[in-house]
Amino acid sequence: MRVSDKKFKISFIVIAIIILLATILISLKLGSVNITFKELISGLFSGQSEGNLGIIKDLRMPRVLIAVLVGANLAIAGVLLQSVIRNPLADPYITGISSGACVVTIFFMVFIPSVTNLRPIFGFFGGLVCCLIIYFMAYKNGLSPIRIVLAGAACNALLGGFSSMITVSAGLGASNIQKWMMGSLATVNWSNVHILLIYSVVGIIAALLLSKVCNILALGSKNARSLGFNSDLYMIIVTAIAVFLASISTAIAGIISFVGLVVPHVCRIIIGSDHKYLIPCSGIVGGFLVLFADTVGRMAMRPNEIPVGVVTAILGAPFFLYLLRRSDLK
């Protein structure tokens, strides 16, 4: 790698971090509570929790942090899945991981609401089972991208039906669960931040440590084996981490689609395919995208809110169709 290329990639990541931090401040400021940037910044560093600052810290800040964590997790999960499957259509939503995590999470929300802290773990097992089923259905002399799309669409429809059936049994709480299913951050709190932060740090660190592995997997199984690399084992490990990151995010925020599809492609176009840079870059841009979408959803139709999952679907679906059109799928 040329020094200039390395400097460009690092510079882009630094600029992305600065843009993300600026977006966080803007998102904290925007809302029904009016406050200046000076008051906001001084309040954040002084530890004040009175008046408007208290409202922002208790209600708006958890939502902003959850948006960043969820976006980073989904984007990194998309990068990992695309490196394993080696096709541009791999995404936590399209591969059914989000739907699997969603239906299991809803089951516990309705029938065993006392296990709130364990929702991400149960969601992980639901996403893992659904992912394995779709891989099994899509495998025929290798993983076919078009089979993954079709199997994912079928599983999403099936699990969506199960989710709706379980939601109906929730009675008066059904409307809140339906909003959550669309990818809503309206009800998140500091408890959700603490839970998601711990799991996210573990998953993101694991993903960063496997960046070299992802580079080798991207070469294909035959080339990896020729280098003495146990590709099957590492494919399972990388897939498990991707499922973990996507499932814990879905368990907290509901189904937020297409983030894992759009962000990795945009970052890959800008900084290339080296996962040493692609993984952190995708995490930062993914955090920005979900935070931006949530802010737009909050402000576009005040006092009503558009769920962040709806906004990302509007942005991501055309991009998915574009990839489907230009890709050589068999």
From residue 202, how far is each of 34, 73, 206, 248 by CA, in Å?
A: 36, 11, 6, 11
Residue 229 has pLDDT above 60, yes or no: yes
Confirm if 152 and 145 have CB atoms less than 8 A apart: no
Residue 223 in this model has a pLDDT that exceeds 60 = yes
Give pLDDT, residue 182: 86
Host domain of residue 37: 3-326
Q: What is the pLDDT of residue 135?
A: 78
Name the burial class of residue 11, with classes exposed (0-12), middle (13-18) and buried (19+) by CB atoms within 10 angstroms of its CB: exposed
Q: Is the confidence at residue 1, as pLDDT, over 60?
A: no
Model-level pTM?
0.90
- In tens, the pLDDT along 111-142 reads 888 777 788 889 999 998 888 888 788 777 76
More confident residue, 33 or 252: 252
What was the pLDDT predicted at 186?
Answer: 86
The total number of structural domains that make up the chain? 1
- pLDDT number for residue 47: 66
For residues 116 and 23, which has the higher predicted lDDT (pLDDT)? 23
Pair of tokens at residue 226 = 């020729």
Closest CA to 203 of 249, 266, 157: 249
Predicted local distance difference test score (pLDDT) of residue 111:
85
pLDDT in tens, 262-308: 899 889 989 988 999 999 999 999 999 999 999 999 888 888 889 99
| Cα–Cα distance, 273 to 221 (Å, whole number) | 17
pLDDT in tens, 28-80: 888 777 777 777 777 777 766 676 777 788 888 999 999 999 999 999 999 99
Smallest Cα–Cα separation from 208: which of 261, 284, 280?
Answer: 280
Per-residue pLDDT tens over the stretch 79-119: 999 888 877 777 888 888 888 999 999 998 888 887 777 88
Q: Check if the beta carbon of residue 207 is closer than 8 Å to that of residue 76.
A: yes
pLDDT of residue 168: 83
| CATH number where 255 lies | 1.10.3470.10
- The residue behind tokens 């939502």 is 63
How far apart, in Å, do the first and last CA atoms of the chain sit?
A: 33
Mean pLDDT value across residues 237-261? 92
Determine the pLDDT at residue 235.
Answer: 83
- For residue 264, cis peptide bond before it (omega within 30 degrees of 0): no
pLDDT at 49: 67
pLDDT greater than 60 at residue 254: yes
SS3 string, the chain, reads CCHHHHHHHHHHHHHHHHHHHHHHHHHHHCCCCCCCHHHHHHHHHHCCCCHHHHHHHHHHHHHHHHHHHHHHHHHHHHHHHHHHHCCCCCCCCCCCHHHHHHHHHHHHHHHCHHHHHHHHHHHHHHHHHHHHHHHHHHECCCECHHHHHHHHHHHHHHHHHHHHHHHHCCHHHHHHHHHHHCCCCCCCCHHHHHHHHHHHHHHHHHHHHCHHHHHHHCCCHHHHHHCCCCHHHHHHHHHHHHHHHHHHHHHHHCCCCCHHHHHHHHHHHHHCCCHHHHHHHHHHHHHHHHHHHHHHHHHCCCCCCCCHHHHHHHHHHHHHHHHHHHCCCC
* Mean model confidence pLDDT for the chain: 85
Residue type, 305: E
